[in-house]
Amino acid sequence: MRFCSVWLPDEQRGLLCAVGAEGELRAVAAGDRRFADVGELVTSGGGLAGLAAAAEGMLSAEPLGRFGEIEHGEPDPGRLHLLAPVRPPEVWAAGVTYEVSREARIHESTEADVYQRIYDAERPEIFFKATGPRVLGPGAALGLRGDSNWHVPEPELGLVLGSDGAVLGYTLGNDLSSRDIEGENPLYLPQAKIFAGACSLGPVVLSAEEIDDPYALTLAMRIERAGEAVFEDKIATSSLHVRLETLVEYLRRDNWLPPVSVLLTGTGIVPPDEFTLEIGDVVEISCQPIGSLRNRLASAGDLPAPTAWA
């Protein structure tokens, strides 16, 4: 089952919906209680045994609309649109999990051997990426740092995790990065990875039982500039150098893992060195059967702070 979060213009709030076989959007509710996203469903106790099982008997009879009608729309408080399907308490990310990522990091860095060593090491690279309020959804504007000249999107498969490390579902993530900042010094990684508008998730969370083999997926990315494709590529998750369970195990090792945290599993798609994102570009990340996540690029300094901080 696919779950998304939809903005209700009349109520000025998000609502968790299930996406039906024909794309119909049905609200997930327990009596009078409704949920804003997958996180609220899980932490209420309903999703601990599985997202699809939790939603059984909780779907509204009347659909709110159809997923395809809002999948690629930009946020507008006056109309129905998609939000991030999960607002995780924490988003973590893994690096150098594909060979192409290792090669790119070696080429960009002044400390090239660091990335070869991490690729060969038993312990994977795992770093903190975002908190829930920092996560943006489909159609929202992502940010480009003003002090960077080399911006790249990083399309990644995201694991939605329970506090015990169980995979509750899958989503897509854009781990936006500043390659020149990371390449100048590996200790600048947090600045290259964490800034305004640096992380988007969506368009849905697909319940774990819907994917028999997470290593049999294909991730694709397309970057448009002025309506024309300027970069396209794809990668099979079978190319992962590190097992997903290994990433989860190291994330949980002697660490508190809040329920419904998201772990981004690394990118295997890297644009050529001469490429950098520009303001106005549109990045589309897709993977069937999860869907496609589209975001346009803006100046990070111009993005408003999360409304949750108001």
Task: Work out the pLDDT band at 210, boundaries 50, 70, 90.
Answer: very high
pLDDT at 195 over 70: yes
Question: For position 56, what pLDDT does the model report?
Answer: 73
Distance separating alpha carbons of residues 27 and 18, to the nearest angstrom: 6
Structural domains of the chain, ranges and CATH numbers in brackets = 2-83 (no CATH), 91-309 (3.90.850.10)
pLDDT band at 310 (very low <50, low <70, confident <90, very high): confident
Confidence grade of residue 236 (pLDDT, cut at 50, 70, 90): very high
pLDDT band at 40 (very low <50, low <70, confident <90, very high): very high
What is the predicted pLDDT for the residue at 17? 96
Q: How far is CA 78 from the centre of its chain?
A: 25
Q: What is the pLDDT of residue 108?
A: 57
Any idea how long the chain is?
A: 310
